[in-house]
Amino acid sequence: MAFSASDKGMLESYVEQSLPLEDMFTVRGKTALVTGGTSGLGFNISLRLLQGGANVVVSSHSTLEEEAAMPLFEQAGFAGKVAFKLCNICDEDDVAALVDFAVETFGSLDIYVNSAATWNYAHIYDLPKEDLERVFQTNVYGAFYAMKYVSRHMVDTGTKGKIVLISSDCPYMPFPVFGGYPHYASSKAAVMGLVTETAKELKRFGILVNSIAPGGMVTPGSAGNLCSEGISEEKQDEFYDELSIWATADLLPVDQVATMAYMMCTPASDGITGETIFVNGGANHNIFSRQVAIDAYPPEDD
């Protein structure tokens, strides 16, 4: 079959429509808001956004995190490009004020990344109601409030923005081996559902919504998470024994996850919305570099 003039014209259109590659991976001139942006994964995502050319507003519920993170951003050369606001993401009025602050500080809001989350450990038959409520208020309600006010601003201003929520692979993975955070896993599954539904609602406005589902990482949050204080010391000790055999998948460097989150904020991800991107080294496909030895599991009763 002959290669026609129209075929050649189609190829020429590909060339004309292709942005320079360096422009596909930049957020230069954009304003980003990162909740939970002063610690762990959120800090690293904020740093990558700053390196990519964005102005960044970071928020946290902790002034101690502000005091640790802000000087590091400034020492890295981003003074004047980053601002902090204290925010309780569980409080809708606080979140609305945070979005207003981002717009007032830098004049626009083009990117939102939610990395604010909390959890602890307990089996469902021991889990106090207060822990369930706290985890859902932070991980689900907080994400909902932020998306509500961020998307309202983007729709009202005609901003074709990017929204990225940090979920987790834990709703799909058998880690810990014997369970231990049903409230956290179900909250992160809710985040995935929130992303898909919100993507449906916002696509017509040119707003793209996705989530990143990391595997295990070493962050201040993960290193400091403990059992629920609402269960007995005996049950806590039993749980820590169980937890010690969970490590099957490799722990990822935090920056590998942060870099993927960054990419989802750039034009390189313009063809993706409503998706959850797993960044866990293949664990959700049962791809591991090691397996837990069989004798690490409790023996069956004789």
- 3-state class percentages of the chain: helix first, strand second, coil last, to nearest 5: 50, 15, 40
Which of 141, 181, 184, 262 is an active site residue? 184
CA distance 147 to 154: 10
Q: Give a three-class secondary structure readout of 9-63.
A: HHHHHHHHHCCCHHHHCCCCCCEEEEECCCCHHHHHHHHHHHHCCCEEEEEECCH
Structure tokens of 90? 């569980």
Structure tokens of 187? 């909250």
Q: Side-chain half-sphere of 289: how many Cα atoms within 13 Å?
A: 7
In one-letter notation, the amino acid at residue 34 is V
Question: Coil, helix or strand for 228?
Answer: coil
Listed in sequence order, the DSSP H helices in 107-232 are: 129-136, 142-157, 182-202, 220-224
Q: Which helix (H) or strand (E) holds 118?
A: none
Size of the chain in residues: 302
How many CB atoms are closer than 10 A to CB 7? 11
Assess whether 125 carries a catalytic annotation: no
How many CB atoms are closer than 10 A to CB 148? 14
Say which DSSP state 227 is in. B
Q: Give the residue numbers marked as catalytic.
A: 184
